[in-house]
Amino acid sequence: MCGRLLFEGIALNLVLVDPVFGPYRLTEEENELLGCSSVQRLHNIKQLGFSYLMYPGATHSKFSHTVGVLRLAREAIRLLSLKPEHERILRAFAILHCIGHGPLAWASEKFFERNSGLGIGERTVSIVKEDEEILEVLAKKWSLSATEMDLLLKSMERSERFQISPEYLEELGYLLLRLEFLARDAYYTGVSGGAIDAFRVLHSVKIDSKSNHLLFDLTEQSIVESVYTSFYLMYLHVYTRHPRPVYDSMFAKALEIALEKRIAENSPQLKFMDSFLFGLGKDKNPKRFLALVDDYILMSLGTCGMKDVENIVQRIILARPYTRIREILLDASQRERCLRHKAHLKDVEERLLSKLGSIGVGRDSVILLSPSMEISQSVFTAKIRDVLIRDEVGRTHKLADKSPLIEPFDKLVQRNTVEVYAAKPLPEDISAKIAKIVSELV
């Protein structure tokens, strides 16, 4: 349990018992911010989306991840003796950084990406700016100044448009996120190879007084490499393990079909899809975003009256993923186009289905999966590979320039293909025709 507990009108601090990092006591201001509706909503969003269909224990929530990041933030603050204003920003960042997530977390990110929606950071910042409850708590309980609030918002946007100063503050925030989700996800999936000692990493990190960046000594380089190694194992065995990407794409397809009909026909049965408009940058009211929780959206899609959408959701619920029918090799320029322009593959998919409609292939029948990016290009590891390592004579180098692990790991996971999945096996001539069309369109 976590949130505001009242006894005779007095807010009491709570001891939070966490199976991953142990018990700790929340401060009054932490308790107030965690009790805000936008944060409490995270109880109902699974951290790993549809991974529970492969790993039954992976039903932990974004809220549990949030309080885990807060726990690590407090440990980092203690070890690094941060200034009071930076300490407040880091703790507020830990509590608020996930509130922009849609249902099933990264599963709905596929939908937002394919439809040119706002990124997770942009959605989070937009919610904080418009959420009166959060703004009141930050002003009255946290006493954040205008300068501190600006720094908090910039750090949450996850954008290279801003130069965060001091630099270590953003780097530390994202290191904490990675340490937390690796430890928690490994614990709840049972993938022990991905487990990491987050506290050991935090005890090794320093702040470079010259550059204001995070720093590790050369003797502790292996500790930073362990984070990268852990992510590599979780990337293969959990985050991209088949058929999770297929379920994500099926979910995105169901949402796209439903949203298109809602916009075109203003169907009352699809009114719940209006809650997605904020995340697509088409609605300024973040309050409707609160309705986007896992069970409600899956139930609404599964009973929306559209047979194609209901069929997709039914297959997800019953763990019946689409079947791979083709794998199409890409050249370098095609692969770069698919990775750089997230909506490109959706356009290819739509044009493919328009060509196949004449032979009876329905819109819900085929999905395309994009090629995977190198781990080093992933949002999860970009900051880790740039961490500074200080050698014996005091010179600093980026981890990526010193470690022999980065490049080999990238090559091991790189995939240069587009995969075609179908709701049911298709005749060989249609399958071959699909492969030919996709090759031409990509």
Same domain, 215 and 363: no
Question: Does residue 224 fall inside a structural domain?
Answer: yes
**CA proximity to 407, closest of 374, 373, 381:** 374
Q: Does residue 3 contact residue 31 with C-beta atoms inside 8 Å? A: yes
What is the reported pLDDT for 6? Answer: 39
Same domain, 340 and 194: no
Same domain, 183 and 35: yes
For 142, other C-beta atoms within 10 Å of its C-beta total 20
- 210 pLDDT band, cuts 50/70/90, is confident
Q: Does residue 33 contact residue 134 with C-beta atoms inside 8 Å? A: yes
Same domain, 120 and 166: yes
Same domain, 390 and 343: no
pLDDT beyond 90 at 310 = yes
Same domain, 398 and 424: no
From 236, 255, 289, give the residue that closes a domain: 236
**What does the DSSP 8-state code read for residue 368?**
E
Q: State mean pLDDT over 103-117.
A: 87
Question: Does residue 255 fall inside a structural domain?
Answer: no
Residue carrying the six token digits 């996930």: 98
- pLDDT tens profile 335-349: 778 777 767 778 888
- 7 pLDDT band, cuts 50/70/90, is very low
pLDDT beyond 60 at 52 = yes
**Burial call 86-125: b when 16+ CB within 10 Å, e when fewer:** bbbbbbbbbbbbbbbbbbbbbbbbbbbbbbebbbbbbbbb
Q: Does residue 321 contact residue 247 with C-beta atoms inside 8 Å? A: yes
Question: Does residue 247 fall inside a structural domain?
Answer: no
Same domain, 327 and 407: no
Q: State mean pLDDT over 242-264.
A: 93
CATH number at residue 108: 1.10.3210.10
Question: Does residue 305 fall inside a structural domain?
Answer: no
Same domain, 78 and 223: yes
Higher pLDDT, 124 or 409: 124
Q: Give residue 173's region: left, alpha or beta (phi > 0; psi -120 to 50).
A: alpha
**CA proximity to 366, closest of 328, 395, 324, 314:** 324
Same domain, 192 and 53: yes
Same domain, 340 and 398: no
Query: How much is the mean pLDDT over the chain?
Result: 86
Cα dist. 200→79, 196, 197 in Å? 11, 9, 5
Question: Does residue 279 fall inside a structural domain?
Answer: no
Which domain covers residue 401, as residue numbers? 375-412
- 11 pLDDT band, cuts 50/70/90, is very low
What is the reported pLDDT for 164? Answer: 62
pLDDT beyond 60 at 56 = yes
Same domain, 59 and 197: yes
- Output the pTM of the full model: 0.91
- pLDDT tens profile 65-89: 999 999 999 999 999 989 888 999 9
Question: Does residue 299 fall inside a structural domain?
Answer: no
Same domain, 91 and 47: yes
Share of the chain above pLDDT 70, in %: 91
Of 93-102, 213-222, 382-391, the one with minimum mean pLDDT is 382-391
What is the reported pLDDT for 221? Answer: 92
Question: Does residue 316 fall inside a structural domain?
Answer: no
Question: Does residue 401 fall inside a structural domain?
Answer: yes
Number of domains in the chain: 3
From 219, 236, 253, give the residue that closes a domain: 236
From 182, 204, 236, give the residue that closes a domain: 236
For 303, other C-beta atoms within 10 Å of its C-beta total 12
